Amino acid sequence: MKKLFAIVIIIFAAYSVPSFAQEGDVHSALNALRSNNFQAAVESYSEFIKSNDKYAPAFYGRGLAYYKLRDWNAAISNFTKAIELDGKYHQAYNGKGLALVELGQYDDAISAFTKAIEIASNNPTYYYSRANAKYFSSQDNAAIDDYSRAIELDPSFGLAYYGRGIANQMSGNKLQAVRDLEQYISINGNKDNLQAEAERLIKDLERD
């Protein structure tokens, strides 16, 4: 598996926290999720689900909490249940894909991201997610296409430039790799703690 750059999990748009009627256990779960108290979120969602087992956002929320607890299999199980209850739940497909990436199941992750894209085709983070999975499965040119689509949809998407720069490096397009990495630095600076690595890569590419 390639490990030339860090996949930064920016997805979930501040967790894409589901909205509920603000009452009882689900209110507690939502507050716990927003305050990063993920174990408490799991417990509150679980209590809510006991009497609301057909409510897809509750399973999605619990999936998010499990994901943040790094329990990838439990996250996948909950995202899958949310999808079973609501086949158009693109956030759940994306969450499932991210958990599958963590398990190294890249083909299944790509399928999940593709489904999210089919439902919400203008969401740049889904293309970025799929690009990462393609990159890690050595599909560099296909990854470049997805990074490029993410950039088309959001020209300020710094991490997509970073990912495309690495993929371009791997595919031998050094000039474009330098341009992408420079654009990444221009947009994101060091907010992802990747500026030093990007600068090092630029120097290496320019030296070759």
Query: What string of DSSP letters covers the chain?
Result: ---SSPPP--TTTGGGPPP----HHHHHHHHHHHTT-HHHHHHHHHHHHHH-TT-HHHHHHHHHHHHHTT-HHHHHHHHHHHHHH-TT-HHHHHHHHHHHHHTT-HHHHHHHHHHHHHHSTT-HHHHHHHHHHHHHTT-HHHHHHHHHHHHHH-TT-HHHHHHHHHHHHHTT-HHHHHHHHHHHHHHHTTTTS-HHHHHHHHHHHHH-
Predicted local confidence at residue 33, as pLDDT = 87
104-133 burial: b if 16+ Cβ within 10 Å, else e: ebbebbbbbbebbbeeeeebbbbbbbbbbb
CA 124/CA 116 separation, integer angstroms: 11
What is the residue extent of each domain of the chain? Answer: 22-116, 122-208
Among 55, 78, 54, 51, residue whose Cα is nearest residue 65: 78
CA 51/CA 24 separation, integer angstroms: 12
Return the CATH superfamily for domain 122-208: Tetratricopeptide repeat domain (1.25.40.10)
> Are 22-116 and 122-208 the same fold in CATH?
yes
Give me the mean pLDDT over the 91-105 stretch. 95
The structure tokens listed for 147 are 């990074």
> What pTM did the predictor assign?
0.89
Predicted local confidence at residue 11, as pLDDT = 43
Predicted local confidence at residue 27, as pLDDT = 81
Between 23 and 104, the higher pLDDT residue:
104
The structure tokens listed for 38 are 């993920």
User: pLDDT per residue over 112-144, tens digit each?
Assistant: 999 999 999 999 999 999 999 999 999 999 999
User: pLDDT per residue over 152-202, tens digit each?
Assistant: 999 999 999 999 999 999 999 999 999 999 999 999 999 988 999 999 999
CA 62/CA 172 separation, integer angstroms: 42
CATH number of 22-116: 1.25.40.10
User: pLDDT per residue over 60-80, tens digit each?
Assistant: 999 999 999 999 999 999 999
- Ramachandran region of residue 70, left (φ > 0), alpha (ψ -120 to 50) or beta? left
The structure tokens listed for 184 are 């990444």
pLDDT bucket at 24, cuts 50 / 70 / 90:
low
* CA distances for 34 relative to 37, 129, 134, 151, angstroms: 8, 22, 31, 28
